[in-house]
Amino acid sequence: MGGETCVENAPADDCAGSGGRADSDMALFHYSFLNQGYNANVNDDWVAQGCMEDIKRRLGYRLELISGIFRTEAQPGQAIPLTLTMENTGFAAPFNPRGLELILRNAGTGQKFFAALSRDTDARRWLPGTNHVINTQLLLPPDMPPGDYELQVGASSADIRGVAKVHINAPPKT
């Protein structure tokens, strides 16, 4: 859902922190967009009351990595079991399917390795304020260079935040 501000209707259109319900109504009705081009007076009130940045940040969906359980050392070619807890901190669920993926980024070189997180996960069902647990395995490429890596969660857009650290050891000498 989306919309635009109308005529000023204080205190109802004020921020919740100022005794109104503008931001709480956007959460209730799962707002994904807001036309800022109509009544700038209401938008200016939200800036003055301190909730505009939060409204901008929460419009639509915002998938965040809350926690992750995984090994912090591994060998190339190994499968790493992962348990990730994600939360939608936005006002709404995604409209379109999002392919979630894991990204291993070498901390020294910046080189990235990508792996699909789950084809069975449909983030369109992730309603705001709820946690979602994903249990999966990350298969490391057999030719992955040793080093320290950041484990990132990504999507087909930049709407997921979360970074963890993993160290890839050199393969054992035989």
For residue range 16-51, list pLDDT tens digits in order: 888 888 888 989 999 998 887 777 888 889 999 999
Residue 155 has pLDDT above 80, yes or no: no
Residue 166 has pLDDT above 50, yes or no: no
Inter-residue contact 160 to 124 (CB < 8 Å): no
Tokens at 64, concatenated: 């965040």
Residue 87 has pLDDT above 60, yes or no: yes
Q: Residue 122: phi, psi to the nearest 5? A: -115, 95
Tokens at 62, concatenated: 């915002």
Predicted confidence at residue 157, as pLDDT, reads 53
**Global confidence as pTM:** 0.74
Predicted confidence at residue 152, as pLDDT, reads 84
